[in-house]
Amino acid sequence: MDADTAARTCTDVIDAVSGAVVTDRAFLETVLSGALARGHVLLEDVPGTGKTLTARSLANALGLEFTRVQFTPDLLPSDITGSHVYDARAESFEFNPGPVFANVVLADEINRAPPKT
């Protein structure tokens, strides 16, 4: 992909996200830059400012799978990574993947999780 095509694609993604989220374009460019760099993006703000909607809209615009983890005091590591569940009919264990197996994972209210998680 050449630079002009990449720039047009990035503009299309930002336009798609800005159609769902009312925010500053520079903010969306920063979030997209973090995603394109295969990094992590920390969206920190007061409640009700569209952080979840921004992450979900970005995932949809990029054609990626989105999941959200609500961190609570009773959250266990297996709630995030998934676990093996016994299937009595098949008499075997089956792995049920947790939300961490998505392309875009929103970790919400991380400060409420216990240290072991």
82 phi/psi in degrees, rounded to 5? 100, 175
Q: What letter does residue 12 receive in the DSSP assignment?
A: H
pLDDT the model gives residue 77: 86
pLDDT in tens, the chain (117 residues): 888 898 999 999 999 999 999 888 999 999 999 999 988 888 888 888 888 999 999 999 999 999 999 998 888 888 999 999 999 999 999 999 999 999 999 998 888 887 876
pLDDT the model gives residue 75: 87
Residue 32: CB atoms within 10 A of its CB come to: 19
Please return the burial class of 84, using the count of CB atoms within 10 Å of its CB with bins 0-12, 13-18 and 19+.
Answer: exposed
pLDDT the model gives residue 94: 94
Domain ranges of the chain: 1-64, 66-117
pTM of the full structure = 0.80
